[in-house]
Amino acid sequence: MSKRECSQDCAGRALAAQKQKLTGGAMDRTFIVGGNWKMNGDRKAIDEIIKFMRAGTIPTNNEVYIGVPSIYLDYVQQRKPKNVEIAAQNCYKVEKGAFTGEISPDMLKDLGVKWVILGHSERRKIFGESDELIAEKTAHALEKGLKVILCVGETLDERETGQTNAVVFRQTKAVADKIKDWRNVVIAYEPVWAIGTGKTASPEQAQEVHDALRKWIAENISKEVADTIRIQYGGSVTAGNAKELATQKDIDGFLVGGASLKPEFMEIINANVKAEK
């Protein structure tokens, strides 16, 4: 870390400590923004993304990761800016063996990958992944030392029939039944109706679910996990709506799909208005 980065980092920490006092001891949660490229891009497109990421500013007091198609993980690992981590978009629940087409946490670690996105609604819906399977994958990935972005979220039908909280709690409980240590988990609340639709949840809608989930965690896991776990919002996040969403107390970052392939991703990475207060 350079002297300048260190002094920024230290100033950030001092500010966080001050904020913690002001908020009556609520834990400080490092803002975390991830890009999920999904099944997009080729080496040429990746070179362009790396170029704008290298040219942009990555705040030292935030965490940033990009979710890369597995075939390009190594390519991106060799080229990414150093303060950006890479995430796989999936992995399997066991160490190795006859599982054609799958990749294991050990393989990801072999490439220097630190994160894996699990339970994305596209995996749940298109590939039929159950709460149980996602929980098993999460437990195995954590055991192997990966950090997990656990995605949860309701469909439009579930929202309209008043089941939002029940769905998000059920998806989280499946994992809570299998793991004890939540320190390496980030939850991404991604309402399915907001993904790739241009329909973002309003800051109030997102905050309402984040708050409810944090309360559920306090009651069903522990107060400490509830205070410290980061909950990202995902679903049509853009440079235009990120700052407003980031004002919400329980939104600790974003998981960004389409906009993470474009230069506006750098604005989203820098949208943590809480840090400016």
Active site residues: 120, 190
Asked if residues 174 and 135 have their Cβ atoms less than 8 Å apart, the reply is: yes
Q: Which of 256, 266, 268, 269 binds ligand 13P (CB under 6 A)?
A: 256
Binders of ligand 13P among residues 220 to 239 (CB under 6 A) are: 234-237
Q: How far is the CB of 195 from ligand 13P (least distance, A)?
A: 4
**Position 108: which residue type?**
L
Which position has the token pair 């999920």?
A: 36
Binders of ligand 13P among residues 13 to 52 (CB under 6 A) are: 36
Q: How far is the CB of 98 from ligand 13P (least distance, A)?
A: 30
Q: Which residues contact 194 (CB under 8 A, 6 or more apart)?
A: 200, 201, 234, 235, 236
Task: Output the CA–CA distances (angstroms, integers) from residue 146 to 39, 46, 67, 180, 229, in the order listed.
Answer: 22, 24, 14, 15, 16
Size of interface with ligand 13P, in residues (CB under 6 A): 14
CB nearer ligand 13P, residue 226 or residue 256:
256
CB nearer ligand 13P, residue 235 or residue 253:
235
Phi, psi (rounded to 5 degrees) for 185:
-120, 135
Q: How far is the CB of 67 from ligand 13P (least distance, A)?
A: 7
The residue among 135, 120, 61 whose CA lies nearest residue 87 is: 120
Per-residue tokens: 22 = 């002001």
Asked if 104 interacts with ligand 13P (CB under 6 A), we say no
Q: How far is the CB of 88 from ligand 13P (least distance, A)?
A: 13
Binders of ligand 13P among residues 124 to 143 (CB under 6 A) are: none
Phi, psi (rounded to 5 degrees) for 147:
-100, 145
Report DSSP letters for 73-128, one per residue.
Answer: HHHHHHHS-TT-EEEES---SSSSSS-TT---HHHHHHTT--EEEE--HHHHHTS-
- CA 144, 136, 221, 20 torsion: positive or negative? positive
Phi, psi (rounded to 5 degrees) for 28:
-85, 135
CB nearer ligand 13P, residue 123 or residue 226:
123
CB nearer ligand 13P, residue 226 or residue 245:
245
Asked if 257 interacts with ligand 13P (CB under 6 A), we say yes
Contact string (CB under 6 A) for ligand 13P, positions 182-201, x = contact? --------x----xx-----
CB nearer ligand 13P, residue 128 or residue 198:
198
Q: How far is the CB of 257 from ligand 13P (least distance, A)?
A: 2
Positions touching ligand 13P (CB under 6 A) are 36, 120, 190, 195-196, 234-237, 255-259
